[in-house]
């Protein structure tokens, strides 16, 4: 079965260690578009956080964002599918993490909602210079996140947490996982990402494939992190990056080169373009 859709994570996958898209990766995406193969970012980020050079590539129309919470048709600015957190669940989790030295933000309408005490003190939470730039680009600062959530008529899509203490990170992971009504994943060594149980990249990929009228066996997905696990399992061809989590490599159909060695392009050339 030929590949009709290639989905790829951004951080640690399509983007190199400097958060840039390599020329070879860019050429591979262009070659897919020229052959009518859908090229789809699948990320924990919002649309705002997807690099402009990817979004502006002719033929890049759809995006799986916020770990599958929102699948966008970027051309029409419409939602293909959405899986949101309940407000009471969100508030209970925020009440819990507020007891710790943790930076948290909530995503509503594709925008990260932050507070000044976090936004202007990013160094306290082990964020790299590149991540600090991304946070400043994609967050809106409000006086009180909890009050904003309470008053918002729109349900949240995701909660994001950043830690300076990894023991605290694992403690909170355990407490939130024990609820049983959310999924906890991670895309970085010092963060946790919380979505409703039905919001995963794999589910987002399945929604999009069905929407476009083809099967999961006609999809390929590339990823490196914990929040990519079920997407790699569910895709017809699941590709793990060499720099990825060891468990992900075991789940994948194929392990490609690292994100600093054009790993996505190599996989696209091999399986989608059949070079």
Tally of domains within the chain: 2
CA 161 to chain centroid: 14
Question: Which of 196, 219, 245 is the C-terminal boundary of a domain?
Answer: 196
Sign of CA dihedral 213, 218, 220, 226: positive
Cα angle 68, 30, 267 (rounded to 5 degrees) comes to 65
188 and 234 co-located in one domain: no
What are the pLDDT digits (tens) for 205-219?
999 999 999 999 999
pLDDT at residue number 255 = 98
pLDDT at residue number 130 = 87
Please, what is the average pLDDT of the chain? 96
Question: Which of 142, 170, 196 is the C-terminal boundary of a domain?
Answer: 196
246 and 184 co-located in one domain: no
27 and 38 co-located in one domain: yes
Residue range 121-142: mean pLDDT, rounded: 92
What are the pLDDT digits (tens) for 218-269?
999 999 999 999 999 999 999 999 999 999 999 999 999 999 999 999 999 9
To the nearest 10°, report the CA torsion of 251, 257, 263, 269.
Answer: -90
130 and 55 co-located in one domain: no
pLDDT band at 188 (very low <50, low <70, confident <90, very high): confident
CA 129 to chain centroid: 19
Cα–Cα distance list, 188 to 32, 105, 116, 161, 245 (Å): 28, 15, 23, 10, 11
Residue range 42-49: mean pLDDT, rounded: 94
Q: Rounded to a whole number, what is the distance in angstroms from the first to the last CA of the chain?
A: 16
**What is the pTM for the complete model shown?**
0.94
Q: What are the residues facing 255 on neighbouring strands? A: 240
Contacts of 115 (CB under 8 A, 6+ apart): 141, 142, 143, 144, 145
Residue range 171-185: mean pLDDT, rounded: 97
Q: Which domain holds residue 264?
A: 5-82+199-272
For the domain that residue 167 is a member of, what is the CATH number? 3.30.1240.10
Pair 222, 41: CB distance under 8 Å: no
Question: Which of 171, 196, 221 is the C-terminal boundary of a domain?
Answer: 196
Q: If residue 269 lies in a helix (H) or strand (E), which one and from where to where?
A: none
For the domain that residue 10 is a member of, what is the CATH number? 3.40.50.1000
pLDDT at residue number 247 = 94
Residue range 177-187: mean pLDDT, rounded: 95
pLDDT at residue number 1 = 65
């Amino acid at each position: 079965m030929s590949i009709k859709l290639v989905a790829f994570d951004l951080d640690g996958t399509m983007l190199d260690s400097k958060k840039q898209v390599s020329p070879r990766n860019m050429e591979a995406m262009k070659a897919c578009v020229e052959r009518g193969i859908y090229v789809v970012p699948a990320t924990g980020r919002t649309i705002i956080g997807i690099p402009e050079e990817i979004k502006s590539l002719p033929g890049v129309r759809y995006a799986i964002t916020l770990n599958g919470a929102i699948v966008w048709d970027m051309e029409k600015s419409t939602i293909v599918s959405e899986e949101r957190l309940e407000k009471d669940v969100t508030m209970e989790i925020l009440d819990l993490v507020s007891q710790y030295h943790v930076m948290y933000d909530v995503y509503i309408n594709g925008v990260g909602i932050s507070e000044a005490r976090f936004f202007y003190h990013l160094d306290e939470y082990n964020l790299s210079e590149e991540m600090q730039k991304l946070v400043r680009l994609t967050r809106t600062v409000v006086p009180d996140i909890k009050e904003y959530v309470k008053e918002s008529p729109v349900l949240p899509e995701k909660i994001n947490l950043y830690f300076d203490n990894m023991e605290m990170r694992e403690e909170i992971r355990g407490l939130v996982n024990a609820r049983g009504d959310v999924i906890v994943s991670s895309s970085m060594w010092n963060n946790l990402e919380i979505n409703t149980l039905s919001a995963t990249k794999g589910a987002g990929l399945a929604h999009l494939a069905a929407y476009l009228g083809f099967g999961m066996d006609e999809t390929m997905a590339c990823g490196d992190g914990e929040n990519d696990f079920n997407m790699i399992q569910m895709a017809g061809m699941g590709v793990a990056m060499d720099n990825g989590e060891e468990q992900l490599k075991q789940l994948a159909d194929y392990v490609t080169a690292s994100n600093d060695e054009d790993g996505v392009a190599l996989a696209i050339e091999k399986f989608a373009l059949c070079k």
